[in-house]
Structure 1
């Protein structure tokens, strides 16, 4: 079975501007002024271990120095997952938005945060 989190990170990384850090968790050495996208599996069932079908739910958060940049990164990440599903890229076969992208409070000082949650199918 494919590592759904690694797959999502790779799909998102390919779609973002050079220099954007993409990770599962907040890096200790991250300077708040730099672009960062976190993609973390927060649920979703493995619907068929035998056939390798997984339906992970991801929360994706984009951090950047401005609202506009954080929003742009979140929308680009969401579009990357949607486009991968539409094309069947790397075994991603479906995409369903659950929420967002939306501005959220709680970003580290000097940054803004936009997040979305989505379910994808991976086989």
Structure 2
């Protein structure tokens, strides 16, 4: 199956830049953490069929103010809802929110952060057999 986090982070980077808001989108928090950041992590999910996966992804949006973090999370939420299509060569069939936005200040720094979760249904890729 394709790396769902790589597919979605690449899509979000491009979509945020196209929306005029080029926020870093990562799977691991860099040190130092930029003031505005979106992190995507796979937190589970199941294979949907023999040829498709339904990963559950967690989305976290940090910003300098609570209002900006909420706005960034809502923008990412809208972009995730629009992810179906072919993304980096991977067919994405659907996105379904499974946990709406919640206020989740960063426990280490107190920095404003919002989070939500979604399941992304995507097609697998052929993996060549190794001999």
Relative to the length of structure 2, the TM-score reads 0.79
Unpaired runs of 5+ residues, structure 1, are: none
CA 1:39–1:110 in 2, change beyond 3 Å: closer, same or farther? Answer: same
**Cα pair distance change 1:89/1:75, threshold 3 Å:** farther
The number of aligned residues is 116
Following TM superposition, by how much is the alpha carbon of 1:21 offset from its aligned partner in structure 2, in angstroms? 1.4
SS at 2:82's partner residue?
A: helix
Partner of 2:76: 77
In terms of Rg, which structure is larger? Answer: 2
TM alignment of 1:39-54, pairs within 5 A: 39-49=40-50, 51=51, 53-54=52-53
TM-superposed deviation, 1:15: 2.5
Cα RMSD for the two superposed structures: 1.7
> Structure 2 regions of 5+ residues with no counterpart?
124-131
Q: Secondary structure at the match of 1:120?
A: strand
- Asked whether 1:26 is paired with 2:29, we answer yes
Residues of 2 paired with 1:2 and 1:106: CA distance?
A: 30
Higher helix share: 1
Q: Distance in 2 between matches of 1:77 and 1:105?
A: 17
